[in-house]
Amino acid sequence: MNGTRIDADGWTRRTVLTALAAGGVGSLAGCLGGGRGGPDPVSLNGGQACDYCNMRIEMHPGPVGQSFYTDDPPASLPEDREDGIARFCSSTCTYNYVLENEQRGHEPAVSYGTDYSSVDYELRSDGGTTVISAHLGAESFADLRDLTFVANSDVEGAMGNSLIGFTDGDDAESFAGEHGGELLSHGDVTREVLSALGG
């Protein structure tokens, strides 16, 4: 099942709007750099392992994430990781890693998560569980601070219950209306929220 409707010409409303927005945002990003002063997101389809749980990212469904530790990388990042990027197989791994390292005094320049408002996602059954598709291209990410998350829905990702993010709040509300769950902003995500998700 597709997350957005495709019309007879093969174009979705979201594809057209995304293309128009990307032109404007792309020109701004060239002036401003990546997410609010940090680097731009990168693709995660090169066989990387999650820096929190060590699962292979591209082998699992659901939202993924990345954080850029450009100035002060945590000790948990491999020493040969010169780009300072921490990569994650799920939104819960992303937040667990970021929050744990913030407690140790390491804050990322920027963190990104899958933006399901910018992709044509699919839902499928996997052993009786409904899972959402993964999107690993650089263009499918948005700054975590710009996402509205649906938590505790009946749709899962790599680590089970997920934080499924949307830059369009209406998309998040619609998803929650169809699949259950509650809406959270970036600032609402705490270790307690993650524990309740089982992450």
**Could you report the per-residue pLDDT of 124-160, keeping only the tens digit for each?**
998 899 999 999 999 999 999 999 999 999 999 998 8
Tokens of 56: 């292979």
pTM of this structure: 0.81
What residue segments make up the domains of the chain, in order of their start? 13-21+35-197
Pairing label, strands 129-132, 148-157:
parallel
Cα 90 to Cα 199: distance, rounded to the nearest angstrom: 10
Running DSSP on this structure, what letter comes out for residue 2?
B
pLDDT per residue as tens digits for the range 12-55 = 434 333 333 333 333 333 333 345 678 999 999 999 999 999 99
For 51-91, the pLDDT digits (tens) are 999 999 999 999 999 999 988 788 889 888 888 999 999 99
Q: Which residue has the tokens 């690993």?
A: 136
Q: Does residue 155 contact residue 164 with C-beta atoms inside 8 Å?
A: yes
How far is 64 from 141, CA to CA, in rounded Å? 9
178-190 pLDDT, tens per residue? Answer: 999 999 999 999 9
Q: In 3D, which of 85, 165, 170 has the Cα closest to residue 132? A: 165
